[in-house]
Amino acid sequence: MTIQALAKVNLGLRVLYRRPDNFHELRTVFQTISLADRLELEYRRRGGPSVELTCDRADLAGPENLAAQAAQRLLELTGSKGRVRLHLEKRIPVGAGLGGGSSDAAAVLRALGALLRPAVPREALFRLAGELGSDVPFFLVGGRALGLGRGTEVYPLADAGERWLVVVAPGILVSTAEAYRRLSPNLTTDAWNDKIDRFCSSVCVTEQGPAGGLAQDLRAGLGNDFEPVVFRMHPELETLKARLKRCGARPALLCGSGSAVFGLFADRRQAVRAHDSLDLEDGQCFVVKTVSRASYDARWRKWLKGPQPAG
């Protein structure tokens, strides 16, 4: 089976407080975009249990890759004695806040879960996804969704019209652990109560009526709590955001805890013009579009149609 693992952006991200389990309580709106990794998966019923993962980036190959871990955990969960071979072609920048590793893992869960006999129930896939990583459950849903808790509680939101984005991934590595460490001292009870009110209000604005959805996102601006601390660590990222806004992006935001920055544009022509004007010295820049849940599901129906376990 050959499938794609789509990236995501966070249309808003609020960090409330550190939980007893040492994760942080979040409020976010996820959105899948057309930027994607390519994944080839082969499953044979005999010869295992074993998982082999190769990648066009040698540093990402092997059993430590989250996609390989997803396959291994699924074999263990089901007691399968099968053999899984994975080949991953990376296009989503690594460590940029775009969810590439999480999406790869979710794609393996969904594809391999369909190939196993009996097929793995959706509820079991969600439980395993939450154990693998905070963003992984979202990629079993796709489209546009509300993320609560540490991000593993996912609630689908209404699909919206297609929108175009410019995603800029500079050659900068942002430590998520360090970003959380610097953010934590600023999290207070008063602050997170207010954040919940403002976040809920903004999400409601984006969901109103036929004119709602992503068109309203241009005005709502849910914000990203990581921006102040990450921009202090890497001022060049704030400069990138400002350049996207000058090009007409509404909104422009940091992706997760970074280092990628994205801008949402009114149409493809405006996005292409912004892309061409950035002229980066280092890093990658993509013109992509949002992918609705209906389109996401249609892609998966096409990928899952007809494959049969070999061997």
* CATH number of residue 38's parent domain: 3.30.230.10
Report the C-alpha gap between 105 and 92 in whole angstroms. 13
Q: Look over the chain and give the mean of its residue pLDDT values, rounded to a whole number.
A: 88
Instruction: Quote the pLDDT of residue 194.
Output: 59
- The answer to whether residues 84 and 43 touch, using CB atoms and an 8 Å cutoff, is yes
Residue 110: inside a domain, yes or no?
A: yes
Residue 94: inside a domain, yes or no?
A: yes
Q: Which residues are catalytic?
A: 8, 135
> What pLDDT digit, counting tens, does each position of 160-209 carry?
789 999 999 998 888 888 888 888 776 755 455 556 556 665 565 554 44
Average pLDDT over every residue of 59-73: 97
Residue 309: inside a domain, yes or no?
A: no
SS3 sequence of 162-182? CCEEEEEECCCCCCHHHHHHH
**Residues 58, 193 within the same domain:** no
**Residues 147, 269 within the same domain:** no
**Residues 20, 63 within the same domain:** yes
> What pLDDT digit, counting tens, does each position of 267-297 carry?
999 999 999 999 887 889 999 999 999 999 9
Q: Measuring CA to CA, how many Å separate 6 from each of 228, 248, 293, 310?
A: 27, 25, 12, 26
Instruction: Quote the pLDDT of residue 159.
Output: 83
Instruction: Quote the pLDDT of residue 212.
Output: 45
Report the C-alpha gap between 202 and 218 in whole angstroms. 11
Q: Burial of 30 by CB count in 10 Å (0-12 exposed, 13-18 middle, 19+ buried)?
A: buried
Instruction: Quote the pLDDT of residue 258.
Output: 84
- The answer to whether residues 264 and 289 touch, using CB atoms and an 8 Å cutoff, is no
Q: Is the pLDDT of residue 214 over 90?
A: no
**Residues 177, 66 within the same domain:** no
**Residues 7, 142 within the same domain:** yes
In which region does residue 169 sit, left (phi positive, over 0), alpha (psi from -120 to 50) or beta (all else)? beta
Could you list the residue range(s) of the whole structural domain that residue 27 is in?
2-157+294-304
> What pLDDT digit, counting tens, does each position of 30-55 carry?
999 999 999 999 999 988 899 999 99
**Residues 15, 142 within the same domain:** yes
Q: What total number of domains does the chain contain? A: 2
Residue 311: inside a domain, yes or no?
A: no
Please report, rounded to a whole number, the percentage of residues in the chain having pLDDT higher than 90: 68
Residue 310: inside a domain, yes or no?
A: no
Report the C-alpha gap between 119 and 45 in whole angstroms. 13
Instruction: Quote the pLDDT of residue 211.
Output: 43
